[in-house]
Chains A and B, each alone.
Chain A
Amino acid sequence: MNKSFLTLTLLTGFTFFTAPATAETWPREVDIAAESLFVPAGFDDNDETMVILDGYLPSACHRLTAPTIQVDAASKKIVVGARAKEFKGVCPDVTVPFTQTVTLGQLERGDYAVVSKDGKHTNMMQISHATAAGPDDYLYAMVEKAHVIYPVPHKWVAVIEGRFTNTCLGLEETKVTVTGNTIQVLPIMNFVEPTNPKVPCRAQQRPFRTVVELPHLPADGRYLLHVRSLNGQAVNEVFFRTTPQP
């Protein structure tokens, strides 16, 4: 046999057999372990449900991409995981914090186990049957932003801002509930009499800002502020509760 043909054959065969094992394309996608999995409570079977992953990317060479979602309707188990593109190169050696909202869509009523892909976090999500004829049990205000501040010792408050879309809309009540590490805020609107009875209600954008005191948060750590908004939307903000230093 021609020596060079043999060499070529061997080399080619070697290349074919080893190529899948050694070839690595960059950037590559990798799983990212989340440090927290937040599951807001209070969803109905006509809601767009969501959970929130929170954690750190290993370095500045990583960039968050679309999460993985597996919903097993039969066993009522949902597995979610963060993913990132890892780039080859020299990157600053810093861990990169991230918070990612994972939209699950509408779910049938029932009790679901929401599990992180690495199996480290499991939270229950209860989906109730919607009883109201409209989109929600309440008419929520349109919320555009929300954040948590610590204005005075031993008091955490949420600042919620948004817009009313009609001159006769106002904020009636803001319900606050805590389940585990998640704080749900429901800004409920009502209709109010016009200040001037001669001026009828009309469509108009009006900003609002409200400050809500949060209930006692038992321990330091990461918490999710989940604020419901008009038409099935929500604003999610993860914050860190720390005990102030004396």
Chain B
Amino acid sequence: MKTLPLWLFALAVTLATAPAFAQGSKFLKETQVPLIKAYVPHGYDNDDSVEIVVTGNLPSTCYKMGPIETVLDDQQHIYVTQTAYEFSGECLKGPIPIAQVVAMGRLSKAGPYEVIDGVSQDNIAKLVIAEATALGHGTDEVLYAPLSDAYLVQKNGKPAIRLVGAYPDNCLSLEKTAVKLDHDVMVVLPELKQAKGVACEKGRFPFEEDVAIETALPAEPFLLHVRSMSGASINKVITP
């Protein structure tokens, strides 16, 4: 495919659709962009570090994502505000999709929360925090696989989730992986088992496992949320 020089393309589009490009001298301004949707994995309790994923659009390639701010009020409203930096220069008009993981930390009060976009004040998601029941037994009721990545693949013509990571000893292995689709969030729980009565060798034992997805994939974008051992999770917005 023949490639057009950037300046020629920019000139052509500028002449045709002048508002599509920001003009002027170099300039940096901090601004805020509205969020459209929040993906909220279910199953968090007040012992968990809560992570949600928010999505929106930047107006053009003249914008760069800035930090995200969260404020919790006493009505259990969580205001999430996405900042962005606006630049001058030759830029292609958007929308440019963005997705960002918001680490909210531990929400100590169980109950319902509302996630509100700090710009539009729209309610973009609901979040329910359950009362933790497993205190005294470590960080989770089950031991999840130590993952470095997880992503969708096609295996024998069918969708599957590839789990990539490394066991810290050779007694651990994947026992079962539950895949639950709840509206627009696919929650994946890769549970480990530990061999009993054998001497375990410490080290680094890489693994790559494919888990078949038995349910039909959503037609709309959805969040792939995979729990991992360290309490962190892997979150990816999948656009079919």
Stretch among A16-24, A95-103, A107-115, A120-128 lining the B interface: A95-103
With both chains docked as a complex, state the minimum distance between the C-beta of A115 and any C-beta of chain B, in angstroms.
23
Contact call A90/B151, Cβ cutoff below 8 A? no
Asked whether B66 lies within 8 Å of A64 as measured between CB atoms, the reply is: no
Question: Contacts of A74 on B, CB cut-off 8 Å?
Answer: none
Q: How far is the CA of A139 from the CA of B85 in the complex (A)?
A: 15
Interface centre among B26, B169, B194, B229 (most CB of A within 10 A): B229
Nearest to A201 among chain B residues (CB) is B13
Residues of A within 8 A of B58 (CB): 231
B206 at the interface (CB under 8 A from A): yes
Confirm or deny: B87 has a beta carbon within 8 angstroms of a beta carbon on chain A: yes
A144 interface residue per 8 A CB criterion: yes
Query: Is B215 part of the contact surface with A, judged by Cβ < 8 Å?
Result: no
| CB atoms of B135 and A89 under 8 A apart | yes
Surface stretch bound by A, among B3-11, B73-81, B111-119, B180-188? B3-11
B128 at interface, CB cutoff 8 A:
no
B172 within 8 A of A: yes
Contact indicator B88/A134 (Cβ below 8 Å): yes
A200 nearest CB across to chain B (Å): 8
> Does A232 touch B at the CB level, under 8 Å?
yes
Question: Contact between A105 and B65 (Cβ–Cβ < 8 Å)?
Answer: no
**When the two chains form the complex, which single residue of B1, B105, B166 contacts A97, counting CB atoms closer than 8 Å?**
B166
Residue in chain B with minimal CB distance to A237? B149
Q: Determine which of B89, B91, B138 lies in contact with A89 in the assembled complex, contact meaning CB atoms within 8 Å.
A: B138
Q: Is A94 an interface residue (CB 8 A)?
A: yes
Of B2, B87, B103, B143, which contacts A133 at CB under 8 A? B87
Contact with B94, one of A56, A96, A134, A203 (Cβ below 8 angstroms): A203
Specify the chain B residue showing the minimal Cβ separation from A172: B3
- Chain A residues with Cβ below 8 Å from B62 are 134-135
For B172, list chain A residues within 8 Å (CB): 94
> Contact flags (1/0) for B88-126 with A, using CB distance below 8 Å?
111111111110000101100000000000000000000
**A96 in contact with B95 (CB, 8 Å):** no
B143, B148, B204, B239: which contacts A60 (Cβ < 8 A)?
B143
Q: Is the CB of A145 within 8 A of B236?
A: yes
- Tell me the bound Cα distance from A233 to B67 in angstroms: 11
**A76 interface residue per 8 A CB criterion:** no
Q: Are B6 and A191 in contact (CB under 8 A)?
A: yes
Cβ contact of A63, chosen from B49, B166, B204, cutoff 8 A: B49
Which of these, B63, B167, B202, B237, contacts A231 with CB under 8 Å?
B63
Inter-chain CA distance A151–B67, complex, in Å, is: 37
- Closest residue of chain A to B150, judged by CB? A145
Contacts of A88 in B (CB 8 A): 136
A95 to B229, CA, bound (A): 10
Shortest CB-to-CB span from B188 to chain A, Å, is 15
The reply to whether the CB of B230 lies closer than 8 angstroms to some CB of chain A is: yes
Establish whether residues A134 and B61, one from each chain, have CB atoms under 8 Å apart when the complex forms.
yes
Known: A63-B139, A94-B169. A135 touches B1 (CB 8 A): no
Q: Are A105 and B67 in contact (CB under 8 A)?
A: yes
Q: Does B231 contact A (CB under 8 A)?
A: yes
Cβ of B138 and Cβ of A60 under 8 Å apart? yes
The 9 closest A-B pairs by CB, nearest first: A63-B231, A134-B89, A133-B89, A232-B64, A91-B138, A191-B9, A135-B64, A98-B230, A95-B168
* Chain A residues at the B interface, C-beta cutoff of 8 Å: 46-48, 56-57, 60-66, 84-85, 87-92, 94-100, 103, 105, 132-136, 139, 142, 144-145, 147, 163, 165-166, 168-170, 172, 190-193, 195, 201, 203, 205, 207, 230-233, 237-240
